[in-house]
Structure 1
């Protein structure tokens, strides 16, 4: 017996009609899109979702304008290969930290999914956030769901052209602002905006802003639920992560069936009031409002489906109907399969606890690694043009290329000290200054007496230490080549 929740694909087949579960297995891999007219609904979960959406958009559009000292707080400077995140500067060699961070995010998503299903999709996914924004623009320019449906059926007219034109202008404006802001994370946004305002933006800036403008416009304005259904892999592997104690949006079939239309609260026959239960009806009045408010166009009454993004719009819609009918709320609600079957929900379960422990350990190690990160990186390479050379005094010299990267937010003077062979010395200046967040490459020559060599290749150590901070120190191993004395 498995503890996984079976998922059903009930995407409507245009040859059959909307939402026939019996036809779900027979449909093509991709069905022709039928435009979804999403109805606006108010309620607790929609207030939470809207608040989360506006907060996330405020962060996205606002963060590039924050400054940390004399530079942008978050700036991924690809030409300089420097990634500034508030007070820290990271380099390509720190990409292991990025991989680690992505793994932490993946485990965080696993933990949230096991606990509360696809709340990420419904409340914080960028595709959902921008899609809801575009739907809001539709409401603003074209009116309610019924008005939009009626407007699309009308022949072309001045009013229709004006409403449609206003919608697409606003869509493109939002898409342009989105693309400009995204590029602003990689190019100083103040200069980027000034360049666009004065029509002096460069070719690459025009290309990338245009690229993200077009794809934002297409994804949020035209594709919408198609991205969630056909392009996003998350919907496809969620069934592996759900179990019977996962909190999901569900329809209480035992309470709602059989469905049927009826008058508000009771039907009256003479002086006697007949309850809908006496007529053999469940609490669902089959109004279809839960389908009309769904951004992916599914009927939650068909059961858990891969298309459901757990936005809870159907919950708010159903609760509003239950209030009007004077029925208890919760016919559609956040619940678990165990609870629907009359059992007890187990919140603390081995898989959830395992994800939580792994997540805490990885976050702790990541924070410790970043906080204990040495603000110095050193590379040393041998000069490939020659193995070694001899000085007039008879010493053997080896040439190297030394690269010192100052990862700190202030300049340092570094002392270079060779060791590992008796009498080894550095020819030239042994102190070098490197500005904050910069790197310096310099040729380096080391000399040693032939008497110190007892083999043609010996390991040496090059130590680089900050003159003003003894805690900033790094040692690198290299090879010293020469003719051994017999």
Structure 2
């Protein structure tokens, strides 16, 4: 461009509208459109790496944390018990699990409404493991341009050993990920010892193989395809976004008109904005989008393009922040609102669910009694002339230690208990106990009497009891 040409009126530059993909015109999945992610370093990239390492170490180390005679977190599907440190969730306590899931859901909604898709960009397992795989790929095959050239080269010894080593590393990471995940459901030491001594259950081998292949495929091959075409979160996020939600945004007023120039050139006189059209923001994007085209559902808010652009601005001597974490209102010069109805609503529901969970988990009864009546007959008259009802008791000891339980019935006068009235139940076990209760007919004033069968035990120096209502039938 000639320096004497008339400068363009940059003040008339219009803001790029938010990109709204049309489902009928969306690009179809093409496995050949591979994205070669360029490595970048910067504040947001370092933060993402640190958070990813923390999340990964938490995932790896948690199954090894002991809690008494078991691991701290153990989802024991065989015995239908979920152990989360000192909390044990039984099938009878599934409302607690539902509350946990609601806390996770509304926590995600709250964070997304305020900070955008930071979950996707910083802590989502797909993102964390994908960047780990890309890191190994870069170490073994080289930087972005080298990887592109390597893929275009014919197969030779150099290409074979690099590709083989890379995929072997990927499979090793995937295998370790799979064994770690399975150890949340099978005791950790049993997984590793039994697996390598070929004495593990067939289900363990199946699930380790399944999750190894799933991790290898998702993080090594699928990558951004999971985010763009398979993850539902990217699709319904627009329902949580508003004009005050933090997004990765490109300042069109400042950046346009874009174009290359030398460092010494006065780009204002040339009618150019701050964007030098280097395309680094596209090359570092893990989903391969151009953030300059506006907000897109494919953006995972990882901040890689911010680091790339800031480094370019610094080299050119321009102010940083051409691409930044911002809001639509801020880009339009409108004052940002922190408190708004949607955010407050999610916050209130989240707080209520947390309080409900804390209260419910702290008031879990350590004893549970279930009663099953004899289905063959309501009652019978025994050889002593007494009216007898038969029940099957299921007594659950939710504590971690064995306890002596005393059994009693309320609501019947002068009754006879047929069966043991004191039983010992180990911690975390259910005792199935058939018993009968007999009453003299003269002591029954009605054909049906409401009763309660109670089980009580001394737990931590306190008498704890649990009862279940039932009915006693007579003539």
**Which residue matches 1:127?**
126
**Which residue matches 1:8?**
20
Q: Compute the displacement of 1:202 (Å).
A: 2.9
Task: Choose which of 417, 420, 435 in structure 2 pairs with 1:426.
Answer: 417
* Pair 1:470–1:477, CA change in 2 (3 A): farther
Q: Compute the displacement of 1:25 (Å).
A: 6.2
CA distance in structure 1 between the aligned counterparts of 2:77 and 2:418, rounded to whole angstroms:
35
Residue 209 in 1 paired to residue 208 in 2? yes
Conservation of the 8 A alpha-carbon contact between 1:249 and 1:332: yes
TM-score w.r.t. structure 2 length? 0.93
CA distance in structure 1 between the aligned counterparts of 2:200 and 2:35, rounded to whole angstroms:
38
CA distance in structure 1 between the aligned counterparts of 2:458 and 2:316, rounded to whole angstroms:
78
User: Relative to structure 2, which stretch is displaced further, 69-78 or 227-236?
Assistant: 69-78
User: Relative to structure 2, which stretch is displaced further, 42-51 or 201-210?
Assistant: 201-210
CA distance in structure 1 between the aligned counterparts of 2:246 and 2:227, rounded to whole angstroms:
20
Residue 288 in 1 paired to residue 276 in 2? no
Spell out the pairing of 1:190-209 with structure 2 (5 A cutoff). 190-209=189-208
**Which residue matches 2:40?**
41
What whole-Å deviation, never above 9, does each CA across 1:210-261 have from its counterpart, x for those lacking one? 0000111111111111111111111111111111000110000110000000
CA distance in structure 2 between the aligned counterparts of 1:163 and 1:139, rounded to whole angstroms:
11
CA distance in structure 2 between the aligned counterparts of 1:295 and 1:110, rounded to whole angstroms:
23
User: Relative to structure 2, which stretch is displaced further, 119-128 or 76-85?
Assistant: 76-85
Conservation of the 8 A alpha-carbon contact between 1:74 and 1:86: yes
**Which residue matches 2:179?**
180
Unaligned runs of 5+ in 1: 11-23, 268-274
User: Relative to structure 2, which stretch is displaced further, 411-420 or 325-334?
Assistant: 411-420
**Which residue matches 1:409?**
400
**Which residue matches 1:398?**
389
Q: Compute the displacement of 1:48 (Å).
A: 0.7
Conservation of the 8 A alpha-carbon contact between 1:87 and 1:409: no
CA distance in structure 2 between the aligned counterparts of 1:342 and 1:405, rounded to whole angstroms:
63
Conservation of the 8 A alpha-carbon contact between 2:89 and 2:97: no
Q: Compute the displacement of 1:385 (Å).
A: 2.6
User: Relative to structure 2, which stretch is displaced further, 469-478 or 369-378?
Assistant: 469-478
Q: Compute the displacement of 1:451 (Å).
A: 1.9
Q: Compute the displacement of 1:470 (Å).
A: 4.5
**Which residue matches 2:321?**
330
Q: Secondary structure at the match of 1:26?
A: coil
Conservation of the 8 A alpha-carbon contact between 2:310 and 2:320: yes
CA distance in structure 2 between the aligned counterparts of 1:204 and 1:342, rounded to whole angstroms:
58
**Which residue matches 1:55?**
54
Task: Give the aligned CA root-mean-square deviation in angstroms.
Answer: 1.6
Conservation of the 8 A alpha-carbon contact between 1:291 and 1:300: yes
What whole-Å deviation, never above 9, does each CA across 1:46-90 have from its counterpart, x for those lacking one? 111000111111111111111111212211222222222222222
Q: Secondary structure at the match of 1:352?
A: helix
TM-score w.r.t. structure 1 length? 0.91
* Pair 1:26–1:70, CA change in 2 (3 A): closer
Residue 89 in 1 paired to residue 88 in 2? yes
Spell out the pairing of 1:41-440 with structure 2 (5 A cutoff). 41-264=40-263, 266-267=264-265, 275-440=266-431
Q: Secondary structure at the match of 1:461?
A: strand
Q: Compute the displacement of 1:199 (Å).
A: 3.1
**Which residue matches 2:471?**
479
Conservation of the 8 A alpha-carbon contact between 1:36 and 1:295: yes
* Pair 1:77–1:462, CA change in 2 (3 A): same
* Pair 1:29–1:439, CA change in 2 (3 A): same
**Which residue matches 1:17?**
none
What whole-Å deviation, never above 9, does each CA across 1:134-191 have from its counterpart, x for those lacking one? 1111111111001100101111010111111111000000110011111111111112
Q: Compute the displacement of 1:344 (Å).
A: 0.7
CA distance in structure 1 between the aligned counterparts of 2:117 and 2:376, rounded to whole angstroms:
59
Q: Secondary structure at the match of 1:443?
A: strand
